[in-house]
Amino acid sequence: MNDIGRLFQAFLAPAILLSATALLILSINVRLMGIVSRLRQFVHAKYDAAKSGRVQVAEAYTAQIQSIEKRAELIRRCFLLALISLAGTISSCLLLGLGLYLKDAALAAVVVFVAALLCLLVATLYYIQEVTVSLSSVQEEARDERFMDLGAPPETGGRDAL
């Protein structure tokens, strides 16, 4: 009976981290969806500008696309590392349970948990870096004179576009 109490105590810290990591992943996913949506919009606008012979506008969109692609790569790395951290946390929980019966499993749980925390730390650093540059593309767009007289916004494909 004493082992069951120790098992639940051993699960508590990773379980709390598991919940926090899952919420971070949700936040990262929403951010990634926004970036991808904006990137698709700019790719379509660049195509429309190039098709209609507005070379300067197409070049302006190309610069914006490159900026957003860099942000998307930061978020992608962040997302992957957070998912690896989540998998590591789950694995460490399972290893902690097994560690009640096998000493080597308990040691492996500690190693896996520390590796998961390191992945989470690096993911957080990528997230901080992306948030730091998140307004750069908007600020660049505001300063870029090629965006000042574009007329109507590009078609984003509403319900009638199908």
pLDDT digits (tens, 9 = 90+) for 133-147: 887 767 777 776 766
Each residue's pLDDT tens digit, 26-35? 999 999 999 9
Does 85 reside within a domain?
Answer: yes
Whether 98 is covered by a domain: the verdict is yes
Q: Is the pTM of this model over 0.85?
A: no
Domain boundaries, position 103: 17-148
- Amino acid letter for position 127: Y
For the chain, give the percent of residues with pLDDT over 70: 81
pLDDT one-digit tens code per residue, 63-86: 889 989 999 999 999 999 999 999
**Any domain includes 161:** no
| Residue 123 resides in a domain | yes
Asked whether residue 109 is assigned to any structural domain, the reply reads: yes
Is 96 a domain residue?
yes
HEC string of 10-60 equals HHHHHHHHHHHHHHHHHHHHHHHHHHHHHHHHHHHHHHHHHHCCCHHHHHH
Q: Are 106 and 3 within 8 A, CB to CB?
A: no
Mean pLDDT rounded to a whole number for the chain: 84
Total domain count, the chain: 1
